[in-house]
Amino acid sequence: MENLLSLWHSTGLYNFTLPQVIMMLVGFLLLYLAIKKGFEPLLLVPIGFGAVLSNIPVAGLAEEGGLLYYLYYGIKTGMFPLLIFMGVGAMTDFGPMLANPKTLLLGAAAQFGIFATLLGALALNMIPGLEYSLSDAAAIAIIGGADGPTAIYVASKLAPDLLGAIAVAAYSYMALVPLIQPPIMRALTTPEERSIEMQQLRFVGKAEKIIFPLMLLILTALLLPSAAPLVGMFCLGNLMNVCGVVERLSKTSQNELINIVTIFLGLSVGSKMSAEAFLKAETLGILALGAIAFCIGTACGVLMAKLMNKMSDTPINPLIGAAGVSAVPMAARVANKVGLESNPHNFLLMHAMGPNVAGVIGSAVAAGVLLSLVH
């Protein structure tokens, strides 16, 4: 009888708690959104599955000695986000941005949501039950850059306890770009502005594409060394792609390597979605602030593009400003889609890729600024 009782006490049914059940349901919800709705499936599938695994009682997968515990070292050391940034760099084409360097301003303007949300997170401390330190607020604010690896990297350095909620918020809002951005874009522009046709971009040669990532790395090293890990890996990936002499390395970083790291990254993030770490009032605040940050970033990009259009000799469609958030290439596709609704001959995709790529650089620089000031 004692043996049967001991066996019963070792089962998951006996040890399950309500918070663990809730978090497993959250994990299944993420799986549903990824599989059924197609929301960032490459990340939400391993994150959702990791959330389920980390909340299985007694199994100890996320505790010391468990698989997820050791995988998390890849995030704790910053290795996983940096390797993914290298893969993203290898898949990035700086050509549209170099052909129209003014779009760098749009990528910079879209990062305003990050710093506005930093202040907003600190202001929420006035609400009873919410308490965010400056490090927490900085980690939450980076969600506004719509760059998942950057958000995870900053959170791992400044607020590891909030990593699960920040990662889920960042990738959820990236997946919701087609739903969140169009209403903001339409509200801030007129039909005439959305119909503006832009001039064809000039051809960008191979030499320019090789020199740019090297210049970007040098400037970052000289002015903002804390952003060097992110920018450096991004530039390495891009250089491997454009130089044309390491095609195997470029393809590996774009495919096999980034796919393997994405699996490990997602499971590691899921391991931080345990009930005791996730089910807090602060989590709701993170989700709300992340949405606000994303909306502010989109709005600022559009408004900056409107201003540039009034001051420029060549026409600039304000819709491309919304692509200044670094959800590549989804934000650029959304700008193109909204533009086509107003003018069937208005193809904005390549023009929007300029601020979209600039947004990746901008979010990495913003992350470096936050790490320098806070960490």
Rounded CA gap, 275 and 263, in Å?
A: 22
Sequence ranges of the domains in the chain: 79-258+276-374
> What's the mean pLDDT when you consider all of the chain?
90
pLDDT recorded at residue 312: 87
pTM (two decimals): 0.89
pLDDT recorded at residue 1: 67
Rounded CA gap, 24 and 17, in Å?
A: 11
What's the Cα-to-Cα distance from 315 to each of 117, 307, 331, rounded to whole Å? 31, 11, 20
Rounded CA gap, 327 and 258, in Å?
A: 17
Rounded CA gap, 107 and 320, in Å?
A: 10
Contact criterion met (CB below 8 Å) for 238 and 68: no
For the record, the structure tokens of 282 come out as: 């602060």
User: Within a 10 A sphere around the Cβ of 205, how many other Cβ atoms?
Assistant: 11
Question: What is the enclosing helix (H) or strand (E) of 373?
Answer: helix 349-374
Of residues 66, 27, 275, 290, the one with CA closest to residue 172? 290
Helix (H, G, I), strand (E, B) or coil at 318: helix
pLDDT recorded at residue 284: 79
pLDDT recorded at residue 185: 95
**Residue segments in the chain with a per-residue pLDDT below the cut of 70:** 1, 9, 375
* Cα 216 → chain centroid: 21
pLDDT digits 0-9 by tens, 270-309:
888 888 778 787 887 888 888 888 899 999 999 999 999 9
Of residues 296, 272, 283, 337, the one with CA closest to residue 119? 296
pLDDT digits 0-9 by tens, 52-100:
999 998 888 888 889 999 999 999 888 999 999 999 999 999 999 999 9
pLDDT recorded at residue 122: 87
pLDDT recorded at residue 145: 80
pLDDT recorded at residue 375: 66
For the record, the structure tokens of 149 come out as: 């690896």
